[in-house]
Amino acid sequence: MLGIKQNDMEAHKGAGSLGPAPSIETALPGPLAREYIERDTRHCSPAYTRDYPLVVKRAAGSVVEDVDGNRFLDFAAGIAVCATGHCHPKVVAAIEEQARSLIHICGSDFYIPAMTDLMERLANLAPGDHKQHVYLSNSGTEAVEAAMKLARYHTKRKWLIGFHGAFHGRTMGSLALTCSKSTQQERFGPVVPMTAHVPYGDVNAIESQLFRYKMNPDEVAAIFVEALQGEGGYVVPDPEFLPRLRALCDKHHILLVCDEIQSGIGRTGKWFAFQHFGIEPDMILLAKGLASGMPLGAVVARGDVMNWAPGAHASTFGGNPVACAAALATLDLVESTYLDNTATLGERLKRSLGELAAKHKVIVNPRGLGLMCAVDVISKRTGKPDAKTRGKILQAAFQRGLILLPCGEVGIRFCPPLCMNEAMLDVGLKLFDELLTASV
Q: Can you give the binding site for ligand PLP, defined by CB under 6 A?
A: 139-141, 144, 167-169, 226, 230-231, 259, 261-262, 287
* Of 71 and 168, CB closest to ligand PLP: 168
In the bound state, the residue with its beta carbon closest to ligand PLP is 140
Q: Minimum distance between the CB of residue 253 and ligand PLP, rounded to whole angstroms?
A: 25
Residue 29 near residue 401 (C-beta atoms within 8 A) = no
In contact, 140 and 288? CB cutoff 8 Å: yes
3-state helix, strand, coil in the chain (%, to 5): 40, 20, 40
What are the backbone angles phi and psi of residue 255, rounded to the nearest 5°? Answer: -80, 140
Of 30 and 162, the one with the shorter C-beta distance to ligand PLP is: 162
Least Cβ distance, residue 181 to ligand PLP (angstroms): 12
Q: Pick between residue 30 and residue 140 the one whose CB is nearest to ligand PLP.
A: 140
Q: How far is the CB of 298 from ligand PLP (least distance, A)?
A: 11
230 or 366: whose CB is closer to ligand PLP? 230
Q: What is the DSSP string of 319-360?
A: T-HHHHHHHHHHHHHIIIIIHHHHHHHHHHHHHHHHHHHHH-
Whole-number Å distance between alpha carbons of 112 and 132: 19
Pairing of strands 159-163, 195-198: parallel
User: CB-wise, 248 or 296, nearer to ligand PLP?
Assistant: 296
Task: Find the angle CA(369)-CA(374)-CA(379) to the nearest 5 degrees.
Answer: 150
Q: Distance (Å, rounded) from C-alpha 115 to C-alpha 323?
A: 9
- Cis amide bond preceding 22, omega within 30: yes
- In 3D, which of 372, 366, 371 has the Cα closest to residue 351? 366
Least distance (Å) between residue 289 CB and ligand PLP: 11
Contact 276, 238 (CB under 8 A): no
Nearer to ligand PLP, 275 or 337 (CB): 275
Nearer to ligand PLP, 181 or 361 (CB): 181
Between 23 and 84, whose beta carbon lies closer to ligand PLP? 84
Q: How far is the CB of 408 from ligand PLP (least distance, A)?
A: 12
> In the bound complex, what is the minimum distance in angstroms from residue 3's beta carbon to ligand PLP?
33
Q: State the minimum distance, in angstroms, from the CB of residue 165 to ligand PLP.
A: 11
Q: Specify the DSSP class assigned to residue 309.
A: P
- For residue 197, the minimal CB distance to ligand PLP (Å) is 15
Q: Which is nearer to ligand PLP, 166 or 424 (CB)?
A: 166
Q: State the minimum distance, in angstroms, from the CB of residue 283 to ligand PLP.
A: 13
Q: Least CB distance from residue 273 to ligand PLP, whole Å?
A: 10
**Closer of 168 and 246 to ligand PLP (Cβ):** 168
Closest CA to 73 of 399, 436, 343: 399
398 phi and psi angles, rounded to 5 deg: -55, -45
Contact 406/51 with Cβ under 8 angstroms?
Answer: yes
- Beta strands in 357-396, from DSSP E residues, in sequence order: 363-369, 372-377
DSSP state for residue 151 in the 8-state scheme = H
Q: For 371-380, b where at least 16 C-beta lie within 10 A, e where not — what string?
A: bbbbbbbbbe
- Rounded to an integer, what distance in angstroms lies between the CA atom of residue 14 and that of residue 19? 8
Burial bucket for residue 182 (CB in 10 Å: 0-12, 13-18, 19+): exposed
Length of the chain: 440
H or E segment and range at residue 400: helix 387-400
Cβ closest to ligand PLP, residue 16 vs residue 319: 319
Cβ neighbours around 302 below 10 Å, total: 20
